[in-house]
Amino acid sequence: MPVFLLSDELSEAEMVSMLEGAELSPTPLDATMRLATEDGRIVIEIDVMNQTDRDLQQVVVDLRTPPGRAPMSAALEHLILEPVVRIDTLPARRSRTVMLQTSAEADVPVESGQVRIHLTSGDGTFTALDDALWAIPAPHVSAGIDGQLDE
């Protein structure tokens, strides 16, 4: 994320000196996701991380499209059977893995899909993350080597 600082009073050297040790504070909630399989179906595993020094209560992991907005991936959204998972308590500086079941079979090829995760907690902490997963159904394709280079 770009940040622009303007000052009529600081020299370039003073500005550089002021910013040398600056850091962006981590988001209170963070997540990573990946695809896995369970019982012959694709599941989305999401690691939800509490990056604060306090326990967070009533954490909600929500993959639904916000009302009134175009979906990030209409094709993926309908595959998620239960797009909302609740975590009662997420301890400080800890993570927890949740799994979202899909209707996609594990042996069906899949292609890239954009997924947005909304993380909220009971105290109003909110984070939204985007990730790309290979999770949109694609047709089976067979390939063979036949020596024809002009195909």
CA distance 92 to 110: 36
Mean pLDDT to the nearest integer, 91-108: 91
- Work out the pLDDT band at 98, boundaries 50, 70, 90: very high
Tell me the fold of 26-136: Immunoglobulin-like (2.60.40)
Interval 111-143: pLDDT, tens: 666 778 899 999 999 998 888 776 656 666 776
* Position 93 pLDDT exceeds 70: yes
CB 56 within 8 A of CB 50: yes
Q: How many CB atoms lie within 10 A of CB 95?
A: 15
- Token pair 């303007």 is found at 6
What residue ranges do the domains of the chain occupy?
A: 26-136
